[in-house]
A = this chain, B = another copy of it.
Amino acid sequence: MTEVVIAGIGQTEVGEHWELGLRDLAIHAIQAAVKDSGGLRPQSLFVGNMLAPNLSNQAHLGVLLADYAGLLGIEAVTIEAAGASGGAALRQGYLAVASGLVDVALVVGVEKFTDKIGADVDSALATTSDADFEAVQGMTLAAQAALLMKRYMHDYVVPAHGFAGFALTAHANGAGNPCAMYRKAIKPETYAKAEMVSDPLNMFDMAPNADGAAALVLTRRDLLPSNYSHPLVKVSGSASTVDTLALHDRKDMLAFDTAQVSADKARQQAGVTVDDIDLFEYHDVFSIYAALQLEAAGFAMKGQAWKLAEDGGISLKGKIPCATMGGMKARGFPGGAAGVYQAVEAAIQLRGQAETNQVPNAKTALIQSLGGPASTAVSHILQGLD
């Protein structure tokens, strides 16, 4: 099987881009990634997107973006797996290059939550849960996450504000990321006083929906331009797995099985263990997801992740640095682009280009993109090459 390297990375600032459309955002990220790769010419485009058919009345994004990026004649397709669309698009790009059939693959994640010419955001997001048995009841993902959080707090006797560590870490790291939506650290009092969204989930326990696009150029090492100057990053493990769509069909709501299985598979393929992971980009759209992922992926015992976060274990110099560029919470949650942002940010860390946010001696990263409450989990191991 062919070794796959990340030759180029690109991203837009995450936020409310009222003046830019879906295609503008994507093209910005694509052009940045192609430039960063030294001008490699992609043959295949994999678009990670979650909600454009509903929010923007726009499907067939592969063609739209290839067209506007000046890449006509390549192949292009959209990959959808709810919030994991970005991670899933990366995986398809990885498979294309790994197969030997594609020399250079371009992966772009894009989401445009503003400019709601189609459905409203809550209705659109509800399409990612079970339309017949969940969404039709009026259940939102935030309400569902609140129930999960309540259960966790009950089972593991977690105090009020026990989840503060996730938001505090994310915002501290967002301060050092020029592409983050929120670039300001917050204090414990800010978390403690935050308005409730759905008790016990407050506004700092959930990530802001935002516009943004991120892109990756994947290729083989022998195809890199001769003057390629970035430290090399390879994709050494890739795995994806699914659980039930509806949470009520799970045996144990608090076990994110897909997060565990896909992380294990990706690590096995890469030949690394939990202890080898220098940073973990989790899918913290809700702080409870972050906690359950840390536990599923083997970084904390069940019921202990909140304590790890509280004690500084997930900060840049902690045991397992997480959300190193702000995560979904502070960088923002651009839907189907989120998983691609994770890869871009991990690559920045592994290249040693993260400046004030640099994780010391970062060699191996685990990134994990979720769709729904870990109904889908896509895990990748990225490694720096000397």
Contact = CB atoms under 8 A, between A and B. Distances in A.
A223 interface: no
Interface in A39-67: 50-51, 53-54, 56-64, 66-67
A376 interface: yes
A1 interface: yes
Contacts of A54: 53-54, 59
B60 A244 contact: no
B129 A60 contact: yes
A74 to B, nearest CB: 7
In the complex, which of the residues A96, A99, A100 has the most CB atoms of chain B within 10 Å of its own CB atom?
A99
Contacts of A232: none
Contacts of A51: 53, 59
A176 interface: no
A274 interface: no
Interface stretch (A80-88, A322-330, A353-361): A80-88
A240 interface: yes
A interface bracket (residues with beta carbon within 8 Å of B): 35 or more
Given A67-B244, A67-B245, A261-B73, A60 B78 contact: no
Contact of A242 (B67, B123, B246, B375): B67
Contacts of A334: none
A42 to B, nearest CB: 12
B135 A57 contact: yes
Contacts of A318: none
A47 to B, nearest CB: 9
A21 interface: yes
A154 to B, nearest CB: 26
A203 interface: no
A103 to B, nearest CB: 13
A99 B21 contact: no
A81 B62 contact: yes
Given A95-B101, A99-B95, A245-B67, A59 B74 contact: no
27 contacts: A1-B99, A1-B100, A21-B132, A51-B59, A53-B54, A54-B59, A56-B131, A57-B131, A59-B82, A60-B80, A60-B81, A60-B371, A60-B376, A62-B242, A63-B243, A63-B372, A63-B375, A63-B376, A73-B242, A75-B241, A76-B81, A76-B242, A77-B240, A78-B79, A80-B80, A95-B99, A101-B238
